Amino acid sequence: MSVSSPLPLSVLDLVPVSLGSSAAESVEAALAYAKAAEDAGFTRYWVAEHHNMGALASSVPLAVLAAASQRTTRIRLGSGGVMLPNHAPLSVAEGY
């Protein structure tokens, strides 16, 4: 099934960790989600950065996006937010 819309649609993923799951399982599910979003015709897959929350496994969006780039071919990948106080601006610019 493909999304048919004149408005480009995106997915924002927080990489939730379900009860009884590990962070690794959640990241693996996020990678499958990115591929499914691409297959459905979405334009962009975003990963938001969050820290110190056991229910989210998205503290390093760049790592999730790098892995997603190996599973997708067309969808645009990006960060839904970077907490600049936690990173040197140059390292963020170089990473993305």
Q: Residue 88 domain-assigned?
A: yes
Question: What is the pLDDT at residue 30?
Answer: 97
Q: What total number of domains does the chain contain? A: 1
According to the 3-state scheme, what is the secondary structure of 50-74?
A: CCCCCCECCCCHHHHHHHHHCCCCC
pTM for this entry: 0.83
Structural domain includes residue 5: no
Q: Is the dihedral of CA 64, 94, 12, 48 positive or negative?
A: positive
Proportion of the chain above pLDDT 70, given as a percent? 95
Summarised one tens digit per residue, pLDDT across range 31-74 is: 999 999 999 999 999 999 888 888 999 988 999 999 999 999 99
Residue 15, in any domain of the structure: yes
Q: Residue 46 pairs with which residues in a beta bridge?
A: 12, 78
Domain assignment present for 34:
yes
Range of the domain at 63: 10-95
In a domain, 60, yes or no: yes
